[in-house]
Amino acid sequence: MQSVTERFLEYVKIYTTSDPENTKTPSTQRQFDLAHLLCEQLQAMGIENANVDAHGYVMAKILSNSKKDLPAVGFIAHMDTSPDCSGENVRPQIIENYDGSTIKLNDEYQLSPQDFPDLLKYVGQTLITTDGTTLLGADDKAGIAEIMAAAEFLMSHPEIEHGDVCIGFTPDEEIGRGVVKFDVERFGAEFAYTMDGGKIGELQYENFNAGSLKVKVHGRLVHPGDAKDAMINASEIAMEFHSMLPTLERPEYTEGYQGFYHLHTMSGEVEYAELNYIIRDHSRELFEDKKQRAEQIAEFLNKQHPGAKVIVELSDSYYNMKEQVEPVFHIVELAEQAMKSVGVTPLIEPIRGGTDGSNLSYMGLPCPNIFAGGHNFHGRFEFVPVASMEKAVEVIVAIVQLVGQK
């Protein structure tokens, strides 16, 4: 059997970064490289129905071996990595018996407990880090490796009674389009779990309501020597727009259930400027208020600057899964029981983000989120403890066993 660590090290070296500028599914053809490998590996385990569809979705089903009518449970992870940081030529480093000191990634970057105190929770354990030039890809290749390792274990232990176990790997989760072509009916699960959380113990059924905000500002270009009462500087107005959003509602000042506006890209000249934000809030009411505030600011600036044009474009990405999961809360309790059975303390807390499970829950597949084990996702300081991945595999198997005991 291939260990979860061996699988993870194999998968992170496959370049799968998604592309937010491409509207096709998958957004990058390179995601098929991992999809086809996973399909081949599933088939090699004896899961003959494993397949990859035209949109890059991998689906497979370990068929029930029980005479009882057991519910089908699913496990899902995404294949793409974030475009926020390079995912090409990932060269993971293995730090055995971590001693609590600063880890040198390369000559320029280091992973320090002073900057990342969570490191100290893993003294004595084996860590996998980046080499400082790319992200690692534990989000969510740790989840993939865990599901694959659990699948191989189940196929090797037919004495474990279970219902159908559905496996799904999706493209483009990092750009908010992970389940746009996901066929819930074909997947076949009654409920599922995304293995896409962070640190060990995380169990989440609440997430942000999420949207995007684009602000387009059209100004008027005039030679600066003749600009009095004639020039309209789009960049200045864009900065004015940003200054009118509440400072304390930025990511760096928020935590827990607090939402935010996050300015992630901006560009500007005199004639045209553009601001791109993501908007997040756990409360649907506050989420709608945030969108309304952006529209009100644009309306105000258009009145303040005759001749300028401030345009706000809003779109929703996903909603808080809590509304869909609470009616079937036993699936959260099932995961909590599974964690405790393998010695993991459940940390039930809201996701300050989203997963494929957010949209899947609104598509009729309730789908809480379970830890994959990684830290510092989307950047060069990402790391994952091996023991956390190993425990995630145990949690998956424990869930399957508990369902089999129904």
Q: What is the pLDDT along the chain (406 residues), one digit of tens a residue?
A: 789 999 999 999 999 999 999 999 999 999 999 999 999 999 999 999 999 999 999 999 999 999 999 999 999 999 999 999 999 999 999 999 999 999 999 999 999 999 999 999 999 999 999 999 999 999 999 999 999 999 999 999 999 999 999 999 999 999 988 999 999 999 999 999 999 999 999 999 999 999 999 999 999 999 999 999 999 999 999 999 999 999 999 999 999 999 999 999 999 999 999 999 999 999 999 999 999 999 999 999 999 999 999 999 999 988 999 999 999 999 999 999 999 999 999 999 898 887 789 999 999 999 999 999 999 999 999 999 999 999 999 999 999 999 988 7
Annotated binding site: 78, 139, 174, 196, 378
Among 286, 318, 350, give the residue marking a domain's end: 318
> Which pTM was predicted?
0.88
CA distance 170 to 268: 35
- Which residues does residue 167 pair with via DSSP β-bridges, in sequence order? 60, 75
Catalytic residue among 80, 140, 249, 394: 80
Same-domain status, 95 and 235: no
Catalytic residue among 140, 164, 173, 356: 173
Among 318, 350, 382, give the residue marking a domain's end: 318
- Sheet of 369-371, strands arranged across: 51-52, 58-62, 165-170, 73-78, 191-197, 369-371, 202-204, 347-348
CA distance 197 to 58: 20
Among 318, 336, 353, give the residue marking a domain's end: 318
CA distance 37 to 51: 11
Domain that holds residue 312: 209-318
CA distance 122 to 183: 39
Same-domain status, 333 and 383: yes
Annotated binding site for Zn(2+): 78, 139, 174, 196, 378
229 is catalytic: no
Same-domain status, 348 and 385: yes
- Token representation of residue 401: 């066993």
80 is catalytic: yes
Same-domain status, 286 and 352: no
